[in-house]
Amino acid sequence: MKAMSKTMIGLVAAALLMSGCVGDNTKTSSANENKVKEVVSEESLGLRKTDLYSEDSTVASKTEYNRAQATTSSKIKRAFQDAPPMIPHDTTGMLPIKVSDNRCVACHMPEVADSVGATPLPVSHFTDFRPRAKIVNGVAVDTVNNYKNETMIVKKAELQHARFNCSQCHAPQSQGNLAVENTFEPVFLSKDGASKSSWNEKKYTDALNTVIGGPSFVTEEDLANKNSKAGSLGGASH
């Protein structure tokens, strides 16, 4: 009887102890939840700082583009070496560029650029880099022989069609406030790299000469192995 009484007392004590622990944990958990709610709000989770459940009160930051007229604006520093220059002037009425209407070339063609204070188109825009190809059953097929340097790079007098759509690479610069600060710092290879391209006629084309003889990158050994699985210009076929 005594042993049973002691057992019952022990069980009751253990139950009381466990209920006390659970109660304390529940109180602690509730306190932590309240603390989190006070520190982190839903509005603080995004860059917009607005209610995440409704777009009614969300207003995007106003974006401002330079309204200075062409020839009166200042150049924008390039983001990195040889980066396409940003458009520093108003482009109202100039975009989109069409086959029958490209107002950019009216000022930026080399023969008129200096007289109107515009940046002249570089020699790269007058260079044909496109390989020879033909259409077979509606598919463009490469017809060049890379061992004979048939991919010709030719400087021409007219603006190349691949460069005609100026806004493909050049765009106006927004003056709006940044949601996240840009800390990127460019390192230019040339002293005037922030304002001028380093591209010239030979800088990027001299090393493309693949004709046997002279400064060639194709050797007799290359030719001997051109049809091997490892040496094929089309890539390994195994």
CATH topology of domain 62-142+154-197: Flavocytochrome C3; Chain A, domain 2 (1.10.1130)
Check residue 180 and give its pLDDT.
82
Amino acid at 85: P
- Give percent above pLDDT 90 in the chain: 24
From CA 227, how far away is CA 229, in angstroms rounded? 7
Alpha carbon 97 to its chain centroid, in Å, reads: 22
Residue 204 scores a pLDDT above 80: no
- Give percent above pLDDT 70 in the chain: 66
CB 140 within 8 A of CB 133: yes
Element (H, E) at 38: helix 2-39
- The answer for residues whose C-beta is within 8 angstroms of residue 155's C-beta and 6 or more apart is 123, 126, 127, 128, 201
The residue with greater pLDDT, 83 or 213, is 83
Q: Which residues pair with 155 in a beta bridge?
A: 127
Q: Each residue of 132-185: pLDDT tens digit?
A: 777 888 887 777 766 665 666 778 899 998 999 999 999 998 887 777 888 889
Residue 238 scores a pLDDT above 60: no
From CA 203, how far away is CA 197, in angstroms rounded? 12
CB burial readout 164-177, b (16+ within 10 A) else e: eebeeeeebeeeee
Q: Each residue of 103-142: pLDDT tens digit?
A: 999 999 999 999 998 989 988 899 888 777 778 888 877 7
Residue 42 has φ and ψ, to the nearest 5°, of -65, -35
Amino acid at 19: S
From CA 230, how far away is CA 238, in angstroms rounded? 8
From CA 68, how far away is CA 53, in angstroms rounded? 40
Name residue, tokens 């001028």: 196
Check residue 42 and give its pLDDT.
72
Q: Closest Cα to residue 165, out of 98, 106, 100, 89?
A: 98
